[in-house]
Amino acid sequence: MDDFESKVRDALANPQNQGELADADAVGTVGSPDCGDMLRMWLKFTEKDGKRVIDRASFQAFGCQTAIAVASMATELLKGKTAEEARELSASELTGDLGPLPPMKIHCGQLVEGALKSALDQTPAAPLPAPASAPTLSGGFQRPAGKIRIVPLDDEQPS
């Protein structure tokens, strides 16, 4: 088995930081036009030595194994980085120990980079006053969008 595939297999055997971050400060979702796969990344920031740095990053992938392996590596690499430092990271740097991606898999790394940049674009400049207001996947399902008035069915029936 070639070296790259065995590293991907190792990463998939114990993927890091998979799943929703309930108290995240930012979330980014992208889809790949090449293959239709999707990846979502959550970022949680903290203050350290007077700088605002990434405390935790997590992901959910609806796609290929390479994207999952890269996202696992990337979410580990991001810890302790400022938003500016994270934005500087290219897809090839986010692969970490996996090394360079084969040509057919480059877009898998770009999917991870895209989700990261999307999350960074939505990162507030200052800490959010109420972490519970951060967007989450489950929160998105529970919170009605816009001003929806909920009317009990009994009120709608003619008297």
108 catalytic? Reply is yes
Contact mark string toward ligand FES, 132..151, x via CB under 6 A:
--------------------
Q: Which is nearer to ligand FES, 24 or 67 (CB)?
A: 67
- Give which of 150, 63, 71 is closest to 115, Cα–Cα: 71
- Closest contact distance (angstroms) between CB of 32 and ligand FES is 5
Q: How far apart are CA 92 and CA 102, in angstroms?
A: 11
Q: Which of 7, 11, 26, 37 binds ligand FES (CB under 6 A)?
A: 37
Contact mark string toward ligand FES, 41..80, x via CB under 6 A:
----------------------xx-xx-------------
**Alpha-carbon separation of residue 119 from 17, 38, 79 (angstroms):** 16, 14, 15
Residues with Cβ < 8 Å from 147, sequence gap 6 or more? none
